[in-house]
With several copies, the nearest count.
Chain A
Amino acid sequence: MLDVEKIRRDFPVLNREVRPGVPLVYLDSTATSQKPRQVLEAMDNFYRASNANIHRGIHTLAEEATASYESARRRIAAFINAAHAHEIIFTRNTTESINLVAYSWGRANLQAGDVIVLTEMEHHSNLVPWQILAAERDLRLEFIPVTEEGLLDLEAYHRLLDLRPKLVAFTQMSNVLGTINPAAEIIAAAHQVGAVTLVDGAQSVPHIPVDVQALGADFLAFSGHKMLGPSGIGVLYGRTELLEAMPPFLGGGDMIKRVELRSFTTNALPYKFEAGTPAIAEAIGLGAAVDYLSAVGMQAIEQYEREMIAYVLERLEEIPGVRVFGPAAEHKGAVASFTMPEAHAHDISQVLDELGVAVRAGHHCAMPLHTKFGIPATARASFYLYNTRQEVDRLVEGIYRVKHIFG
């Protein structure tokens, strides 16, 4: 069991009062998580004691910085059970990770007429890079439909596999519906027709145990800022074989072995894909974040959030008019996107904010999914290991307040 009170003490922002006397109830972790002091201190200590550029320095600070940066990579590799640390490429965020695959693997492997299978519940980050590539290369994009309930239509998926897609790219957890997709099953089926798979782990890696070898994933993309880490750091995991065969993406310092005026040879993995000075302190911060998550235990977090979402859905369903999108609690993470007939999502969010309750409102970078459900925007409350049932109650009070004002 999680000791939530102890955990909360690690998060300085949770002491914040949004206005005098109005404490913060942060229900927007799906957009970005808060950071424990352990993460902030790891970065601050780095800057105050060991800050230096890495890899090419021989002096003490540079050696320390290199060691800390590479140690973070190894711990992050272990966190998702990657077979090798060099399979962890540091990027800015999930979005850059997916673009890296689209630019490098995609341009080297896809030709006119090739099919990419995505889903209707993708975040724009797992749509737009493929749309750009599809336009450039004349590829065909196909989508696994989302059912009314908010699940992927797996029968339709199996029919799409008859098209022999070259790539199947899908989110392991929807940032709107909360749906946890059966990733291992989707990957196994894709592999049977020879497709490469990319898992958008932006929501899954922070909230449930993810084991890339057990999943069989070829690529996994995720962001540090959603899993207690800082902004400015993300990860692309890729299987060695694939990464080795891929051409470089960004060119510059560190990704090369030798440079002449008109030619270069690439460096070994993972450096081949890390051009220029990386987000050093941020990688170190993300290392501290996975240490924190591991110490709490990803299984314990998953379990805690399961109980939380069951309670959230129970409470929201009792409010007349509130419509929550996505599947039943057993298929989803701790995300509740909802609408109310009285008020636009923005207004819900604004009224809640006046009570200190931070929820997000909009299309959550998933416009096609909202279009499918026929709504321009939802309000979204999302939960993490530091949220409590009392905070759910505050949310519910706030929703009644919205009804009062706009009803």
Chain B
Amino acid sequence: MDDLYRELIIDRYKNPQFRGQLDPADITFEDDNPYCGDHIRVDVRLDENNVVTEARYSGEGCSISQASADLLIEYIHGKTLDEVKALTKEDVLDLLGIQLGPVRLKCALLSLKVLKAGAYGLGEATDDLVE
């Protein structure tokens, strides 16, 4: 149990470091997990070379969805837009450092899905983005 609820996750959930919204932002996107109502919004600012200078997330949900958003948003600072587009499910799982079943996986990947949908400028966030 404490395996899953690793201190890192509980800590990030209770004391998020990248919660917030940016206005203006170059990328803003939000979506929810239809199965549980978890909601994530991301705001990203890029410099003239398309490098992430500033990013924040907001929303509500379980510790996994919120902590993975917090970790992911931290991780993308300094990355290029192309690097953000190329992020995968494995990157998020590496950040979390835990194993997840199919349902919780959707919680963990919600922020990535939202982020990539925003990065690609899509109208809708689809599961393909994180498979």
Contacts and interface: CB of A to CB of B under 8 A. Distances in A.
Contact of B5 (A60, A63, A345, A351): A351
A367 B1 CA distance: 29
Interface string B83-109: 000000000000000000111100100
Given A345-B62, A351-B5, A55 B35 contact: yes
Interface in A64-89: 64, 66-67, 70, 86
Interface string A362-398: 1100010010000011000000000000000000000
Nearest to A271: B34
B103 A376 contact: no
B35 A362 contact: yes
Contacts of A86: 127
Contacts of B38: 346, 376-377
B36 A354 contact: no
Given A346-B64, A346-B107, A256 B1 contact: no
A291 interface: no
Given A63-B103, A70-B102, A377 B4 contact: no
A350 B60 contact: no
B103 A56 contact: yes
B37 A377 contact: yes
A382 to B, nearest CB: 17
Contacts of A370: 37
B51 interface: no
Given A343-B63, A347-B63, A376-B39, A267 B102 contact: no
B2, B34, B36, B104: most-surrounded residue (chain A CB, <10 A)? B34
A57 B62 CA distance: 14
A344 B62 contact: yes
Contact of A346 (B10, B39, B61, B102): B61
Contacts of B10: 405-406
A57, A60, A376: most-surrounded residue (chain B CB, <10 A)? A376
Contacts of A13: none
A57 B103 contact: yes
B104 A58 contact: yes
Nearest to A349: B62
A159 interface: no
B34 A67 contact: no
Interface string B52-69: 000000001111110000
B50 interface: no
Contacts of B32: 257-258
Contacts of B2: 405
B37 A363 contact: yes
A355 B127 CA distance: 31
Contacts of B63: 343-344, 346-347, 406
A154 interface: no
A354 B63 CA distance: 15
A361 interface: yes
B78 to A, nearest CB: 30
Nearest to B61: A344
Contact of A63 (B39, B102, B107, B126): B102
Interface in B16-56: 32, 34-39
Contact of A376 (B5, B14, B61, B104): B61
Contact of A256 (B14, B34, B102, B127): B34
Interface string A9-30: 0000000000000000000000
A318 B39 CA distance: 31
Contacts of A346: 36, 38, 61-65, 104, 107
Interface in A240-276: 256-258, 267-268
Nearest to A370: B37
A376 B65 CA distance: 14
Contacts of A296: none
A354 to B, nearest CB: 3
Interface of A: 55-58, 60, 62-64, 66-67, 70, 86, 256-258, 267-268, 343-347, 350-351, 354-355, 361-363, 367, 370, 376-377, 401, 405-406
24 contacts: A56-B103, A62-B103, A66-B103, A257-B32, A257-B34, A258-B32, A267-B34, A344-B63, A346-B63, A347-B62, A347-B63, A347-B64, A350-B5, A350-B104, A351-B1, A351-B5, A354-B4, A355-B1, A362-B35, A362-B36, A376-B39, A376-B60, A377-B37, A405-B2
